[in-house]
Structure 1
Amino acid sequence: MRGISRASLDEVVRRFDAILPSANAATLGHELFEVVSILAEEHSLRRWLADPANEGDQKSGLMGELLESKVSPATVLVVSDIVRSRWSTGRDMVNAVERVAAYATVAVAEDEQRLNELEDEIFRFGRVVAANPELRASLAMEGVAASHKRTLVENLLSGKVNSATLRLVTEAVTRPRGRTLEQGLEHFGQLVAERAQRYVAVVRTAVPLSENQQARLQDELSRAYGRSIHLNIEIAPEIVGGLSIRVGDEVIDGTVAGRLSEVRRRLAG
């Protein structure tokens, strides 16, 4: 998000954090994800709510009428605050609801200082999906009922991962909102990292890194980016040697395969 949406999001999250301690976090997260689904599907409603020509009180009142008696008071408060705010686009507004839904979902793990666990579980599930084309096809296939996909995810993960991980993976699978499955999992992994106030570095290496190597790399990246770094490590023999590191949109490619590719590109030019 940029400009007015970025400023609105910062204020929304600040006020959300004030509401969260008195709310049932799991219920709040679930209900906010349902609101995301409604706003994503109801195009006319989304456009009207995002239109700056419409008064904030009118927007808040309409959402209050739609949600009252269906959701908790905390959810009504959060959604009312979001629709009152100014957004550059309707999508930015829906993304704000999705973000605080994810923040509420991980709040219990946050209190228990288990956000590392969530990040690792989401990343590992993404690696499992990448290594199993048939599983990926089952989870990402269009036209398959969301209930069927939800049951599949529950059968795969229930009792094996944190409840917040299960919820976020289920959202990525059943309500992708235009993202690929991989993009959805990465998106929620990034939101968990943001909640922990750190960056995620996806490290591709031909051979496993020792604990000492991981610690040194983590320290170096943290100093470079001025923020704590969480490492997601992927073993990729095809890169031959060296490391490929991606932090957000920035890629540091120090692999043998990457250097060979650059040589070929120059020769071709």
Structure 2
Amino acid sequence: MAELTTIARPYAKAAFLFARDNSALAEWEKMLGVAAAVAEDPAMRAWLQQPQLSAGQKADAFAEVCGDALNESGRNFIAQLAEHGRLPLLPAVFELFHAFVAAQEAFVDVELVSAQSLEDAEVERLVGSLKKRLGREVHVSTRVDEALIGGVLIRAGDTVIDGSVRGRLARLAEQLNS
């Protein structure tokens, strides 16, 4: 995975700089999101691995599947990736692009995982606390995982705050076993 990220980074950076300079960050993020989803499709992956297809054929077919989601610049970007055999990197390019946008716009994506559905007031309180702690705007998504038993697990980039009952029990078991 680290190797894929290393290879994808220059492409993501180039796309980010182009989008930023053309005031099109949101448009490019949407385009790359669609392209990443197409690249992750198992049928598309298998199709792209056919050695008899030229880079141009792969780029044209890929852009055709993406349809109107790609503008001319997006199609050119896809063509460049195809030329260098990098179309399978699109999911990693999209993730890195999103990280560059997040850094530029000073926000962080946060996932709140709870054992039960959270009330809006609880989410707002957690978001307020996270804004103070992280010093950034917070874009939050929530999901339920009953295996947590209770509490909340918070993922913000590389930071994980485990306030779940399952996490506390695991730490207690670790202490008892050591």
Q: Hey, what does 2:3 align to over in structure 1?
A: none
In 2, Cα distance between equivalents of 1:141 and 1:266: 48
Q: Hey, what does 1:225 align to over in structure 2?
A: 134
Determine which of 199, 204, 207 is the counterpart of 2:113: 204
* SS in structure 1 of the partner of residue 113 of structure 2: strand
CA contact (8 A) 1:190 1:200 kept: no
* SS in structure 1 of the partner of residue 89 of structure 2: coil
Letter in 2 for 1:241: G
Structure 2 unaligned blocks of 5 or more: 1-5
Determine which of 132, 143, 146 is the counterpart of 1:234: 143
Could you report, residue by residue, the CA deviation over 1:165-186 in whole angstroms, capped at 9, with x for unpaired residues?
x99xx88x93428xxx5x6554
Confirm whether residue 248 of structure 1 aligns to residue 161 of structure 2.
no
- Greater share of residues in strand: 2
TM-score (norm 1): 0.41
* SS in structure 2 of the partner of residue 234 of structure 1: strand
CA contact (8 A) 2:45 2:88 kept: no
CA contact (8 A) 2:115 2:152 kept: yes
User: Displacement, 1:108?
Assistant: 5.0
Bigger relative contact order, structure 1 or 2 (CA pairs below 8 A, ≥6 apart)? 2
TM-score (norm 2): 0.57
User: Displacement, 1:232?
Assistant: 2.8
Structure 1 unaligned blocks of 5 or more: 1-90, 129-134
258 and 227 in structure 1: CA distance in 2 versus 1, 3 angstrom threshold? same
251 and 152 in structure 1: CA distance in 2 versus 1, 3 angstrom threshold? farther
Q: Hey, what does 1:144 align to over in structure 2?
A: 49
Determine which of 85, 89, 104 is the counterpart of 1:176: 89
Letter in 2 for 1:154: C
CA contact (8 A) 1:103 1:195 kept: no
Q: How many equivalent residue pairs?
A: 150
Could you report, residue by residue, the CA deviation over 1:194-248 in whole angstroms, capped at 9, with x for unpaired residues?
2322222222222332332222211111111222122132332222221111222
Could you report, residue by residue, the CA deviation over 1:71-90 in whole angstroms, capped at 9, with x for unpaired residues?
xxxxxxxxxxxxxxxxxxxx
